[in-house]
A and B are shown apart, each in its own frame.
Chain A
Amino acid sequence: MWQYIVKRVIGLIPLILVVSFVIFMFIHLIPGDPARLIAGKEATIEEVQEIRVSLGLDKPIIEQYFVYLKDLLTGDLGYSIQSGAPVSELIGERIMPTLGLTFISIIWALVVGILIGVVSAVFRNKWPDHLGMVVAVSGISLPNFWVGLVLIQLFSVQLGWLPTGGADDWKSYLMPSFALGAGIMAMIARFMRSSLMETMKQDYIRTGRAKGLGGNAIVFGHALKNSLIPVVTIAGLQFGFLLGGSVVVETVFSFPGLGRLLIDSIQFRDYPVVQAEILLFSLQFILVNLLVDIVYSFLNPKIRYQ
């Protein structure tokens, strides 16, 4: 197992190189000139050129990439074009709120999603099942920015219970994490339901019933764990997408996280910040997938890695 993990982590290095190259090229090839955006609309061509030179943007793009790569390998993420602040500092300030938000979202989505899925499977085609699936379908179909705005209207404007945005205390996390997690919760509930129903048809469940085990013992003692594999897969994948979703949700709730930093940086063509953020997102995606693989082997000891 440990060998496998070490191997996977080492395998990350070439992957990061490829990802960094793709990110760099993509960002530099999209139209838009940061030098002109910095110089402002009243700038003359000389002023724009001067800024381009000072940022090193006048060099061939391959040369720029190697400069970037060299800095990256020595742990230097560079400086923001827009504000001049070190990129590591900008990301450092924003990463905790976003991680907090995504973790709260995924955890409540897992707990509630699994709960709804199990209840729906156990009470198949009865009212708890129908109710659960209505909740699930709504969660998938409603866009999270809309959910966000409705929540603000209800809990902040009408009831005055929660702040409209920010990340000042735990209260400011409630609405954004709800909006962010709703889709995943729904997805998990549906996968949980179908997977559990599938498991309940297995021979060993019938054997369990035959030897007189009660409903709860069957579901929680035998079926649940065996049904979790597709749920873990989907939760892992979705966790990666959560960061994408956080871009929208953070904007609606004026939440000072990575998503908003990304939006601001893209608009300004702040190359170093965008590169660092997307690299971070990719890394996190890879790590979550590794984690999912490891969890598999705990859920099903038959799955072994070499």
Chain B
Amino acid sequence: MKSRISLLLFIMMAFLAITACSSDENSEGKAKDEKKEITIAIDQNFVTLDPHNAGDTVSIFGTRAMYEGLVGFDQNMEVIPVLAEDYEVSEDALEYTFKLREGVTFHDGEPFNAEAVQANFDRIMDEDQDLRAKRNFQYVDKMEVLGDYEVKFTLNQPFSAMLNKFAMVPFISPKAIKEDKDLGLNPVGTGPFQFNKWNQGDSLVVDKYADYWGEDATNVEKVVYKPVPENGSRAAMLKTGEADFVYPVPQQNVKDFENNDDVVIEKTPSTIARYVSINTFKEPFNDVKVRKAMNMAVNKEAYIDVVKNGYASILDSTMSSETQYYSKQEPYTFDVEEAKKLMKEAGYADGFEAEIWGNSSSETIQGMEFIKQQLAQIDIDVSIKSMEEGTLSDEIYTPETPEDAKVQMWYVSWSPSSGDADGATRSLFSSEYFPPNGANTAYFNNSDVDKWINAANETSVKEEQADIYSNIQSTVYDEAPWIFLATDTILSGHTKNLDGVYVLPDGSVSIKNATLK
């Protein structure tokens, strides 16, 4: 008898619960629109909201909703003035003078002026704080206040990516800095949105800032960011309308959404370059003919179809087309016969055995299997070694010298942290940046390239910088220290009635123009 009663009760409760939910959901959906609120589902948690200490992409774009720098990036990652009205770079590329915008206030009412810039600069350069933003100012010698609305930064050596680095440094209210509240939890900036609340691991909520200095580009009152790591769950949120914007949309779901009238899928080229680095220090990879043969043996179109589900484009330089000073090269054509000929000329007509390393994600493993199968065509017998990310990083960065390095091929990707050519070149191809000092895992060593990487910094003339980087790209591409594979396509999705939220090529989500129709 007891069992029957409890069973009955259970069924009744379940029924009540289900009916209660369905009616709630509808009213919630309507209420959400009236309030002009949007939800953005992303794949990772925010780590910190301190804009001077954010290192991961998600924390960086989370803080960018509330913070601004002297300059910033537009939708194509070109540097544009933001809190500076105008800027000037001296001819020797050592002095950067910024004229600050007047009438800008922080979310706590404090004015933005030269004093505020000084307070931020002091915080960043404070050794005790050990903030990540300090790296952006590694070449900055000093900062001077020239007037209430004018500041000058002096560098100790020229640096071609300096403006991009300024774009990575947002400004915190000097009052908040002084009060020394935990800035990782209490953001106060000048951006179009201000902090509402952050439930760590669950959601970040920002509200529109009524006194924003700039153009009123959004009609959204409230934005909720929700980290949803599981691909299937994130895609489901776009289907159910729980999320208005989802990034990244899993590749396998794109086709599904393309038949859905309520959802729009956006494809943005990224700054992410995908490649296999080849250890040019080791035999037989020290022979450029072998490396060229490897490039010619891999069918990049097939790679994109098989591994990237078609959502990528061929990597036709040492950097993605979205990176500063990119210059297109002629890709290696897929030609197995020609590749075999090169192998024969190099003395490896019968091929050789080799090892490829990569992390343990399923896409990487699939990619490595593809490379293995392609290189088998020229009798290179590849064995795959897939490792968890931290272990892999140890294997790569522990050897102190090129002689000790065990890596032969590494299936990996690279995206410069601020979209600049220096970041896409120096630590990958300069001989000063062999591991453990940098990421030159091809152990690429070319004195011309070394010289050019430094020369690009010594001029402030953009055309000259472009020329130098173009030389670097053509020389490196020709030396084939990598198997050049693809540039990722960023996949994001939004509901039909949302506009103006977009993903930049570096993978950061911008909400400042968010508009609900």
Tell me which of A41, A42, A94, A269 contacts B390 (CB under 8 A): A269
List chain B residues, Cβ under 8 A from A166. Answer: 202-203, 226
List chain B residues, Cβ under 8 A from A254. Answer: 226-230, 233-234
Interface residues of B in 171-219 (CB under 8 A from A): 182, 184-185, 199-203
**Given A164-B242, A252-B232, A254-B226, 6 additional A-B pairs, CB 8 A:** A93-B200, A115-B7, A149-B232, A157-B240, A166-B203, A263-B229
Task: Check B229–A48 contact: CB distance below 8 A.
Answer: no
Interface residues of A in 131-174 (CB under 8 A from B): 149, 152-153, 156-157, 159-167, 171, 174
Given A160-B240, A251-B229, A254-B233, CB of A32 within 8 Å of CB of B393: yes
A66 within 8 A of B: no
Task: Check A112–B10 contact: CB distance below 8 A.
Answer: yes
Task: Check A164–B237 contact: CB distance below 8 A.
Answer: yes
- The stretch of A57-65, A82-90, A275-283, A292-300 in contact with B is A82-90
14 contacts between A and B (CB under 8 A): A32-B389, A32-B391, A33-B390, A40-B132, A41-B427, A41-B439, A42-B438, A43-B135, A83-B48, A119-B3, A156-B242, A161-B25, A254-B234, A256-B201
Task: Check B230–A83 contact: CB distance below 8 A.
Answer: no
Per CB-CB distance, the 3 closest pairs between chain A and chain B, nearest first, are: A32-B390, A256-B202, A256-B201
B45 within 8 A of A: yes
A76 within 8 A of B: no
List chain A residues, Cβ under 8 A from B130. Answer: 51, 54
Task: Check B394–A31 contact: CB distance below 8 A.
Answer: yes
Task: Check B233–A118 contact: CB distance below 8 A.
Answer: no
A115 to B10, CA, bound (A): 11
- The stretch of B14-22, B273-281, B341-349, B507-515 in contact with A is B14-22
Task: Check A93–B199 contact: CB distance below 8 A.
Answer: yes
List chain B residues, Cβ under 8 A from A162. Answer: 21
Q: List residues of A whose CB falls within 8 A of some B CB.
A: 30-33, 36-38, 40-45, 47-48, 51, 54, 82-85, 90, 93-94, 111-112, 115, 118-119, 149, 152-153, 156-157, 159-167, 171, 174, 216, 220, 251-254, 256-257, 260-261, 263-264, 267, 269
A30 to B389, CA, bound (A): 12
Task: Check A44–B390 contact: CB distance below 8 A.
Answer: no
Q: List residues of B whose CB falls within 8 A of some A CB.
A: 1-3, 6-7, 10, 17-18, 21-22, 24-25, 45, 47-48, 50, 53, 55, 130, 132, 135, 182, 184-185, 199-203, 226-230, 232-234, 236-237, 239-240, 242, 388-391, 393-395, 397, 414, 416-417, 423, 427, 433, 436-439
Task: Check B233–A152 contact: CB distance below 8 A.
Answer: yes
A54 to B391, CA, bound (A): 22
Given A160-B25, A256-B200, A261-B201, CB of A165 within 8 Å of CB of B233: yes
List chain B residues, Cβ under 8 A from A264. Answer: 45
Which one of B3, B6, B433, B437 has the highest number of Cβ atoms from chain A below 10 Å of its Cβ? B3
Q: A-B contact count, CB below 8 Å?
A: 143
A45 to B45, CA, bound (A): 28
Tell me which of A38, A153, A167, A263 contacts B55 (CB under 8 A): A38
List chain B residues, Cβ under 8 A from A261. Answer: 201
A85 to B228, CA, bound (A): 22
Task: Check B427–A252 contact: CB distance below 8 A.
Answer: no
Given A111-B6, A165-B228, CB of A83 within 8 Å of CB of B25: no
Of chain A, the residue at the smallest CB distance from B240 is A156
Tell me which of B184, B228, B229, B438 contacts A84 (CB under 8 A): B184
How many whole Å from A197's CB to the nearest CB in chain B? 16
List chain A residues, Cβ under 8 A from B417. Answer: 40, 42
List chain A residues, Cβ under 8 A from B200. Answer: 85, 90, 93-94, 256
Tell me which of A44, A153, A163 contacts B242 (CB under 8 A): A163
List chain B residues, Cβ under 8 A from A263. Answer: 229
List chain B residues, Cβ under 8 A from A37. Answer: 390, 393
List chain A residues, Cβ under 8 A from B388. Answer: 32
Tell me which of A30, A149, A164, A260 contacts B201 (CB under 8 A): A260
A84 to B200, CA, bound (A): 13
How many whole Å from A247's CB to the nearest CB in chain B? 11
